[in-house]
A and B are shown apart, each in its own frame.
Chain A
Amino acid sequence: MPNRVTNAGYGDRTPFLTATASAALRAEIDKQLDQQVLEWYANVPEAAHLEGKNVDSAYYKRHLIETAWRIRLLRVAEAKALVEIAKRSPEAAQVWANYEQEEMLHDELFIADLEKVGVSREQFLDTEPYLSTKLLSGYFSYLLDHEGPLGVVAYSYLVEYVNVKLEPKKLQALKESVGESNIGGQINHSHTDINDDHPGEVWAAVRHLLRSEDDIAAFKRYLREHQRILAQYFEELYLDTIAGAEKQPA
């Protein structure tokens, strides 16, 4: 009688990519992301707003609110992703579990910074997330139901890569505009991403989930799709805060 057990992460555990091929692909992916960053700055309204000298208060506060909500919503989907990853690759699941353990409560860092600028925890909880934030969470659910966990992990690679690359510049600017004592949570969050090499951690999971050339092509598409959804969020944020204020009668 055949063994009916499936989805246990057994079988051939040899990764599709050798260590050398994995490093080469990561360099190629990072080039793609560098290009995506250029497109981001060129096309997203007020993309560099938080890197400027004059930060709009409403924009800043709402961005922290949405960031905390995004972490709260996505950690649910990312926990579900762990189940799907474990079915495919226990090696990737171990890496992903460790990454999630480090990220799980980071919403509190942003909520702490909100309180520093006068937004209480109660006000945060009373603020419903933007539609674009909900849609990102919904996209994760779609991916897990119909395409697998690779797309969810791809989001984390995009975010971690960009954070490590751009966050120090943004935080330096916020020290001047908002005040260093008011952005301690965001500084601590950046420390974790950089000191724990979160891009490297996420890539270690990606490497075990890539099983074919089609997976590699899909991974590259996921990176572009996530950026499009994040751009929708930044547009919604801009329209609701800076653009909205500009339309107010004098």
Chain B
Amino acid sequence: MTLKKLTVLPTGTEILLPAGSPLTEVEYETPERLIPFGCRSGSCGACVIEVLEGSGHLGEPDPDELDFLEDLGRTGGSHRLACQCRLRGDATVRVADDI
């Protein structure tokens, strides 16, 4: 089993997850609420993150996610909905509230 590292800023908490794990797993790996997940289905926008490193390691966003991020004013390509991401390689993210 291959483990990949997710670093969540601003705390800098590092979490190891099996490759391909959904980022919603973060909630169960630590008692801290590092990412504020809401609907977990890509429709509420609670879990917007900025991807600082490893953007290619979180899976490709589908058109619905890109449309919604645009509606939220998160244009530019560095933002994702964490609940729609899977950790396929090491990555560093920052939750939107802290951007």
Contacts and interface: CB of A to CB of B under 8 A. Distances in A.
A22 B29 CA distance: 12
A79 interface: no
Given A24-B1, A27-B1, A19 B29 contact: yes
B40 A19 contact: no
B1 A19 contact: no
B36 interface: no
Q: What secondary structure prevails in chain A residues at the interface with B?
A: helix
Nearest to B3: A20
A19 B41 contact: no
Given A94-B40, A94-B41, A23 B29 contact: no
Given A14-B28, A15-B28, A20 B41 contact: no
A18 interface: yes
B25 interface: yes
B17 interface: yes
Nearest to B31: A14
Nearest to A18: B29
A22 B3 CA distance: 13
Contacts of A24: 1
Nearest to B26: A19
A23 B1 contact: yes
Nearest to B87: A19
A22 B24 CA distance: 14
8 contacts: A18-B28, A19-B17, A19-B18, A19-B28, A20-B1, A20-B17, A20-B18, A27-B1
Interface of A: 13-15, 18-20, 22-24, 27, 91, 94, 98, 204
For the complex of A and B, the 3 pairs showing the least CB-CB separation, nearest first, are A23-B18, A19-B25, A19-B17
